[in-house]
Amino acid sequence: MTCVPYARARSGIDLRGDAWAWWEAAAGLYDRGHAPRPGSVLVLPRQGRLRDGHLSVVTRVVSAREIRVDHANWASGAAKGRITRDQPVLDISPANDWSLIKVWYPPAGDYGATTYAARGFIHPSGLPLGRVAAR
């Protein structure tokens, strides 16, 4: 499984396209921000090995600088395509705005050496903004 259908199914955020495109696609439809909430989707743009970007679903906020996420297809090698649950993510941005993160790397038992830029969080809000419930 890839991160996009996994994030869509877990969060209820009904967006399509590559992971990197979700941030702009959510504009005007869903609330976006730079503070994590359980159930929100963390959006990583295209960068380095993430040629399509990446999406993770926030499962809990541990502190102002640490969250846990579930996501699919983050690992490489034999674990590629698998779902990873309760994975720590650390905000290392100077402004504490989640624009720069590190992700836990299980083989090292620590956060990996790679840092990732992040666009922010798309928040599910029941219905997407601008859409009306069927009566």
**Owning domain of residue 86:** 3-123
Is 0.85 topped by the overall pTM?
A: yes
End-to-end Cα spacing for the chain: 34
**How many domains is the chain built from?**
1
Dump pLDDT digits (tens) for 76-129.
666 677 898 999 999 999 999 999 999 988 777 889 889 999 999 999 975 444
d(Cα 35, Cα 78) in Å, to the nearest integer?
33
> Please, where are the H alpha helices in 48-120?
none
Please check the confidence at residue 131 and state whether its pLDDT lies above 60.
no
Of all residues in the chain, the percent with pLDDT exceeding 90 is 73
**Residue 133 domain-assigned (yes or no):** no
- Residue 64 inside a domain? The answer is yes
CATH, residue 29: 3.90.1720.10
Nearest CA to 24 out of 6, 46, 5, 9 is that of 46
Buried b (16+ CB within 10 A) or exposed e, 49-71: ebebbbbbbbbeeeeeeebbbbb
